[in-house]
Amino acid sequence: MAKNKFLLGLLVIALAFGMMVIGCDLNGDDDNNGNGNGNGNNGTDPTLNGTWVSEEAVMGIAIGEVLILNNGTFEGFIFFNEIDEKIPADKGTFTTRDGSITKQVTHVHGDFISSAVQMFFRDFELPSEWLSKNEMVTALEYFFKEMGLEDEELEAIMELLLEGDDQILGLNEAFASMTGTYELEDDTLTLTFEDNGRPVTTTYTRQQG
């Protein structure tokens, strides 16, 4: 039992770590209007359409990310080695106005969460598909029940994963609407969001072809 509780603690930490990767550069202030480029209207800036690549480290576990923007929808990927081996991470919608960009995560991919957690807990695996918040909650509850958790333990862990705390980004926050600023110069896109009150900037290069 002690070993199971220790492994469970590692798993919860790893799950929270995976969600932090999704939200680490997306925590924003909805009142932030920025001073970047923009179309001046609600909607999306068509000049952002394309595939954007950043080779900046993501939370120290991945060497880069790929962001595909297409007329108000986005898909995010991370890669640990080569870009050709990228793993789907999150997807959703976005709008732009006067240099600000608002992103709404609608789904997280099971492969991404599994790859992050398996660095700590090899037996963990979510369905290899896009999962909404409710679908992820269902999948996590099933996994924890298979580990033999009692109802009271399960309720406490799921509350932590949903709500988070000072150190852990919860699912509710990871799936919330987030606003930051963007600047586009030639084939370079710079996105800035807030993380715990501090600006976090990621620079992307447009992928040609």
Kindly tell me if the per-residue pLDDT of 200 is higher than 60: yes
Of 1-10, 92-101, 162-171, which has the strongest mean pLDDT?
A: 92-101
Q: Which residues contact 178 (CB under 8 A, 6 or more apart)?
A: 23, 26, 27, 28, 102, 103, 104, 105, 193
* Domain assignments of the chain as residue spans, ordered by start: 2-206
* Better pLDDT: 29 or 81: 81
pLDDT score at 68: 96
Residue with tokens 């990228």: 86
Res 63 pLDDT > 80: no
The DSSP H or E segment spanning 157 is helix 151-163
Per-residue pLDDT tens over the stretch 127-145:
999 999 999 889 888 888 8
pTM of the model: 0.78
